[in-house]
Chains A and B, each alone.
Chain A
Amino acid sequence: MFTKKILLITSLLFIFIISNAQDIDDLMNEASNDVVNYTTATFKSTRMINGHSTETVKKKHLDFRISHRFGTVNTGISNFFGIDQSTIHLAFDYGINDRLTIGYGRSSYNKTYDLTLKYKLLQQSNGKKNMPISMTYYGSIEAFSRPFANTDRTNYFTSRLTFVNQFLIARKFNESLSLQLIPTIIHKNLTPTVFDMNDVFAIGIGGRYKLTNRMALTAEYYYAYHSKRSITEYNNPISIGIDIETGGHVFQIMLTNSSIMKEGGFIYGNDNGNIFNGDIHLGFNISRMFSFN
């Protein structure tokens, strides 16, 4: 079963690589150029929907983000289809240089604090230098500050921690279409039972299709591998959204089965809803860029 899944993932990777080969003709034409043409704006924002994109914050810029996920739509009119409840995430991402971004955030889910680091390793380009993909490393430490349910036992600070490591690999195929592949490792220091794994491997796939100059359709899905013997119900996160760009702001509206906005929560998936039961959340991200130049 496990080997089958690995085969599936590797074949997905191959499709990704093969589809790159189609552009060889274009690249050959441009190879004579003496300048390097870096591809810009693979994605509009540093987030796909819930997860990150390959984009980093520009040097000496601060990206202030406010994100909300409302309750589930199936709670009906008495809860105004979920809008009566909400989960919030605030994030400050600062660009030390064009490649390196550090971030700090606070989420109301489990009262979680997070520290993030993002480093752009490769930037898609053509001309003098050919690079078919953009690649960014993303690392994050999440610590929940909600008190432990059981105060009688000895609780350790390390039990609060979750670590996330991701490689975000993206390619802008043309002006409209960008796709992203996201191999992920999540480590949780404490899990409830022996069948709930501390290390979870996941692979994400996401994309953006530009509808107009200011609007784009986005979608995102992560597959996380959990032990089948676990009694915990894990649901993989699936989301669909729209990016709207208005001078200085990027506004993202989405429908998702996860109310959590941090990788250690929504990719791990123990608190995600089941979309087949109608556990769908409406949500939005607002991003405002401040310049310190």
Chain B
Amino acid sequence: MPKKQNVQIKKIRMKKIIGIILIASFLNSCYYDKEEILYPTTESKCNATNSDFTSVKITIQENCLSCHSNSSASTIGGSIKLEDYADVKNYAENGKLLGTIKHESAYSAMPKNGAKLNDCKISQIENWINSGTPNN
């Protein structure tokens, strides 16, 4: 009988240890990182006043073209193309580009299923539109 009890106690102990490991794994690997401290250069790289089409194009390439390139627009991009200057200018002028990236109501929020662009990039695009969408 005592042998049986021992086995039972061991089983309970094993269960407890497994429980503790499971809980500990949920509490582990915490970091307190802030993007603007961790990557101090990225903010200076984005300059809202430097709003030429070259900079806007980089933002669009990084965030939009995975769906809205000339080749993929018809399948996953809702037939909205943003690869060429003329196309971007068109959506900039009818207000859809700014409405979607600013997550304004009555516009479909972009990037779809992703985080909003950072404020610097949004104001860069806004400044470019306000200066008359030049091709520079």
Contacts and interface: CB of A to CB of B under 8 A. Distances in A.
Interface of A: 71-72, 74-76, 79, 85, 87, 108-111, 117, 139-141, 146, 149-150, 153, 156, 158-159, 161, 163, 165, 187, 189-194, 196, 198, 231, 270-271, 273-274, 277-279
Given A76-B106, A153-B41, A192-B118, 14 more contacts: A110-B114, A139-B26, A141-B26, A149-B62, A149-B63, A153-B42, A163-B26, A165-B26, A165-B27, A187-B30, A189-B31, A193-B34, A194-B37, A198-B31
B29 interface: yes
The 10 A-B pairs at the shortest CB distance, nearest first, are namely A139-B26, A189-B31, A277-B105, A190-B33, A198-B32, A192-B35, A153-B39, A74-B105, A194-B34, A158-B31
A158 B116 CA distance: 20
A190 B31 contact: yes
A222 B18 CA distance: 32
A71 B108 contact: yes
Interface string B81-124: 00000000000000000000000011111001111111100000
Contacts, number: 90
Contacts of A141: 26
A110 B113 contact: yes
A74 B106 contact: yes
Contacts of B63: 149
Given A108-B113, A110-B114, A193 B36 contact: yes
Given A153-B39, A190-B35, A75 B118 contact: no
A134 to B, nearest CB: 19
B42 to A, nearest CB: 6
B38 interface: yes
Contacts of A150: 39, 42, 62
B22 interface: yes
A192 B26 contact: no
A97 to B, nearest CB: 10
Contact of A79 (B30, B33, B35, B108): B108
27 contacts: A85-B108, A85-B112, A110-B113, A117-B22, A117-B26, A146-B113, A146-B114, A149-B115, A153-B42, A156-B31, A158-B29, A163-B26, A163-B27, A163-B30, A165-B26, A189-B30, A189-B31, A190-B33, A190-B38, A191-B35, A192-B118, A193-B35, A193-B36, A198-B31, A198-B32, A198-B33, A277-B105
Nearest to A164: B26
A231 B32 CA distance: 19
B113 A192 contact: no
Nearest to B119: A231
A151 to B, nearest CB: 8
Given A75-B108, A153-B42, A192 B33 contact: no
